[in-house]
Amino acid sequence: MKIINKLNNPLLNIVREFKSILNKTSTQKQSHPFWVMVQKETADHVRSWRFIILLILIAFTCFGTLYNSMSHLNEALSNSKDPNNMFAFLKLLTATDGSLPSYYVFIGFLGPLLGISLGFDAINSEHNNGSLVRVISQPIHRDYIINSKFTSALIIISTLFFTLSFLFVGFGILVSGLTPSFSEFLRIIAFTLLSILYVAFWLNLSILFSIKFRQAATSALTSIAVWLFFTIFYQILINIVAKAFIPSKGANMAQIFNYKKFFMGIMNISPNQLFTDASTTLLIPSIRSLGPLSFSQTQGAIPSALSLRDSLIIVWPQLTGLIAATVLCFALSYYLFMKREIRA
């Protein structure tokens, strides 16, 4: 009778029903077509040789910059007048002797290559081998395809950069003996999110070219050409034009101020410049402005470190610029893909 009563216990029945509902919900979530496609795309990226090679390259360069900054940490902290001395742990990400760039400079250089490698053949390769037609013929929403491409790549990028940041912090604590303060840790997290946003822009741009061009080699070369233009040639062109319009020696301070402000605004069109300005401000708290300052603004200013909130206010235009460029590239990719006629 005890066994029968135990089997017929209403509380046990309620628990069984609750467990069955949870199992059904988790099964339905796991078997949703969109997440199935995301898992498949994520597995394809992780198993590809190009991702493994880029992962090894980024990891070696990051730990190389850590060793370089550790070698010159005492020299960087020896200046007692430096307002950034209270943020000693951030010196690991910014200190360098010139032989190797600092950590955030390497991320700004190698990050676009990671985004381009994950997206340059997202659509055209599947179109060329015929798998895109077979996927679209299934009873799924068409936008699941491009959304899964972006989501899977973004998951990989986010996981990679957060892992690198935490490993960087962990090795920095073990080797240097320094412990990051809460403010320093928040700045590192903010820089990590900025890096993910920056790489997401190049990911969306490469996906856009993979939709626009039929051949994967064409989309890859176009993406790399845009990256090289903004990384190298754009600044050279702006400097040439700026020298042609430089004010005369008799120009007043207002003309010189407007001249510098205008050309610095043109420089901020480049996503590389937006990332460099934002990352520098987040990792070097003593930076108080990213543009030219008038004499009245600098008069009486005391060199000191800013809070994270003030640094975020300074870089807010750069952040909104990167967000807008990323959303624009994704919107164009979405529109072109939904309007594209796909045939075998």
Q: How far is CA 112 from CA 119, 120, 225, in A?
A: 11, 12, 12
* Contacting residues for 182 by C-beta, under 8 A, at least 6 apart: none
Residue 201, CB half-sphere, CA atoms under 13 Å: how many?
24
Tokens of 240: 């040439």
8 Å CB contact between 203 and 219:
no
- Residue 340: DSSP 8-state: -
pTM: 0.84
8 Å CB contact between 158 and 196:
yes
Q: Give 286-312 as a DSSP string.
A: T---SS---HHHHTT----PPPHHHHH
Q: Tell me, what's the pLDDT at 326?
A: 94
Q: Tell me, what's the pLDDT at 154?
A: 93
Q: Tell me, what's the pLDDT at 81?
A: 60
Q: Tell me, what's the pLDDT at 210?
A: 92
Q: Tell me, what's the pLDDT at 300?
A: 46
Q: How far is CA 154 from CA 175, 206, 333, in A?
A: 31, 13, 15
- Among 284, 55, 69, 325, residue whose Cα is nearest residue 191: 284
Quote the CA–CA distance of 195 and 268 in Å, as a whole number: 17
How many CB atoms sit inside 10 A of residue 50's CB?
14
Q: What is the pLDDT along the chain (344 residues), one digit of tens a residue?
A: 444 444 455 545 554 664 565 555 555 555 778 888 888 889 888 888 888 888 888 888 887 887 777 777 666 666 656 666 677 778 777 777 667 778 888 888 889 999 999 988 888 888 778 777 788 778 888 888 899 999 999 999 999 999 988 888 888 888 777 788 888 889 999 999 999 999 999 999 999 999 998 888 899 999 999 999 998 888 888 888 888 777 777 667 777 767 777 777 788 888 998 998 899 888 888 776 665 554 444 444 555 677 888 888 888 988 999 999 999 999 999 999 888 777 65
Q: Tell me, what's the pLDDT at 198?
A: 95
Q: Tell me, what's the pLDDT at 161?
A: 92
Quote the CA–CA distance of 318 and 134 in Å, as a whole number: 41
Q: Tell me, what's the pLDDT at 297?
A: 44
Tracing tokens 């008069």 back to the chain, one arrives at 299
Q: Tell me, what's the pLDDT at 168?
A: 83
